[in-house]
Structure 1
Amino acid sequence: MQLRFGFIAALSVLSLAGCSSLAINNGSLDYKDAATLAPPQYPEGSVVRPATPLYPAPSVDPLATANAPKLENARGNRFAMPRPEAMQASSNTVQDSTQIGRPQPVVDGNQNPLLKIDGNSATIWQYTLATLSSLNYSIVGQSKNRYEATIKVDQQIYVLRLTSVGSSNNLAVFNADNSFADQEKAADLLAQIYQNWPA
């Protein structure tokens, strides 16, 4: 009775352990020994449609095969993916959410001048308002739900609008009717903001 129970227990342990822990060859590395087959040969005089392979096998340089990563277990008889490497946290890669870059004068596809600024939109907008204040431009109105301010420059009303694309932001000058402002006047205003930028 005890011998039968011991045999059943050992058989259960082996079946629960599975083949993977025993590292039995399961044929998962047979692709390394695959041979290139010649295209099929048809008897002379037979009518055969031209056959093109759906997934043609690429020709691989032997040097590339020799230097390929070893995707196998420790015994070398089963396919196994390598374990991911632990990530190292670097303090240099983590940026402060309030850190912003220096403005860069650019133009869009229609040659309208813009200021491109990388960083947090809220911080950039605060810097923009501070720059307008240092230039003594009066802010007539400001939008509550987006980064937009109406300013008065030389008795002319302009709208400054900050739009974000990913981590980059563009500051543009518009007329009151939402059309782009005159390119020379917009370039002059953006140049003043660029020169007096506090960051």
Structure 2
Amino acid sequence: MQLRLGLTLALSVFSLAGCSSLAFKNGTLDYKETTTLEPLKYPEGSMVRPVAPLYPAPTVDALAIEHAPKLENKRGNRFALPRPDAAQEQSSADDSNSTAMLGHPQLLSDGNQNPLLKIDGNSATIWQYTLATLSSLNHTIVGQSKNRYEVTVKVDQKTYVLRLSSVGTSNNLAVFNADNTFADKEVAAELLAQIYQNWPA
């Protein structure tokens, strides 16, 4: 009887403690050890449409990786998000800093050598600056999206879409064709260089 009671108590204590407090390694941090794979190779002589990635992997600076938040537990062997209260305080502080401090644009390119314009700060403020810069250039704005940061521009009688995408406080401005593929690299580089040179901030 005592053995059963002891076994029951031990099982209940173990279940109340839970696996998370014991912090066994469960593979949630394996993404940090990933490697870059080669692009898909097609057999020679096969008829394959040209593939344009919709969501290309951005080139991440080593300094950004070094200063990235550590989303792991105290032992460093499991993925763990910060507590909600701390995250809310940090995000409100980040928002106030991003509205006060807006980074100067940087001309970059992604893994496929497509030109990008990287700007750190608040997305809404950056988009206002982008529209102000476009209005100072001699390009006709054909339309603007109401749901996202996207504007259709005419450059040399051809229509392009200028789109701002954000990850945290980092924002990338890219140029696309009307069919959602990346624009010609020379045209995109020239348009983004004009925005970079005439940036009001």
Q: Hey, what does 1:99 align to over in structure 2?
A: 101
| Correspondence for 2:176 | 174
| Counterpart for residue 114 of structure 1 | 116
Taking the aligned partners of 1:156 and 1:135, their CA distance within structure 2 comes to 16
CA distance in 1 between counterparts of 2:101 and 2:164 reads: 17
5+ long unaligned stretches in structure 2: 1-92
Give the superposition deviation at 1:97. Answer: 2.1
CA contact (8 A) 2:116 2:174 kept: yes
Q: Which has the higher helix share?
A: 2
Deviation string 1:172-191 (CA, Å, 9 cap, x unpaired) is 00000000000011000000
1:153 matched to which residue of 2? 155
1:113-164: per-residue Cα shift (whole Å, max 9, x none)? 0000000000000000000000021110000010000000110100000000
Q: CA RMSD in A?
A: 1.5
Aligned twin of 1:130? 132
Larger Rg: 1
Residue 181 of structure 1 aligns to a residue in which SS?
coil
How far has the Cα of 1:99 moved from its partner? 2.9
Percent identity (aligned): 78
Q: Which secondary structure does the structure 2 equivalent of 1:123 belong to? A: helix
Q: What does 1:59-74 correspond to in 2, within 5 Å? A: none
Aligned residues of 1:114 and 1:190 also touching (Cα < 8 A)? yes
5+ residue gaps, structure 1: 1-90
Q: TM-score, normalised by structure 2?
A: 0.51
What TM-score do you get using the length of structure 1 for normalisation? 0.52
AA aligned opposite 1:178: N
1:160–1:172 contact (8 Å) kept in structure 2: yes
Please give the secondary structure, in 1, of the residue aligned with 2:99. Answer: coil
Which has the higher relative contact order, 1 or 2, with Cα contacts under 8 A spaced 6 or more apart? 2
SS where residue 97 of structure 2 aligns? coil
Does the 8 Å CA contact 1:97/1:119 hold for their aligned counterparts? Answer: yes
